[in-house]
Amino acid sequence: MSKKKKATPVEKIRLSGRNIYTDKKGRVIFYDMLTKRGYLVGKQNENSALFYKNRFVVILFAAILLGGTLLSLIQAVIAWAVMMALAEFSFRMSFLKKLEPVTDVDFERRVSALQYIVENKEKGRVIALIVLYLLLAVLVVANAYIEKYSLGLSIFSGCISLVGLYFAVLHIIALTKMK
């Protein structure tokens, strides 16, 4: 009688995005377009990779919040530029230095955001995210109107609202594709 080998479970997709690939070996590779190099993203670096992948959006939100509450538009733009420079410096000098460079990058499979949502999130969480993104889209515009934001901040608020709508639609599509 022969023993059957236990199939090793396929690891779920951990990250997705424009510069994140999964190669034939199942490794998650971050490709830096500036240096044209690939970096292996290990399990221990996932949270940092997720933050750095979204650093531009997080800093934009912070700058808009500062511009709408504490700073003038010019001060908020300067704060945004400084935060962007610091985040990029930290990304290049700290985060990328921790990752192992990969020379044999195989761009076989790029995981789309839709595929990531369908394969990794529960239905209840997706529904909650749909509601939250729709609320973001509405409340950000309502806040700009109520607070009588300047034209520049109103445009930024409108852009954030469009991003919220995009992600809500993305999650609605993912919800329809879930089993």
Q: Where are the domains of the chain?
A: 14-111, 113-179
59 has a pLDDT exceeding 50: yes
Q: What is the pLDDT of residues 72-125, one digit of tens each?
A: 878 888 888 999 999 889 888 888 888 888 877 666 666 677 777 787 778 888
Gap between the Cα atoms of 116 and 16, Å rounded: 6
Comparing C-alpha atoms, which of 127, 158, 121 is closest to residue 143?
158
Band of pLDDT at residue 142, cut at 50, 70 and 90:
very high
Residues ≥6 apart with Cβ < 8 Å to 78? none
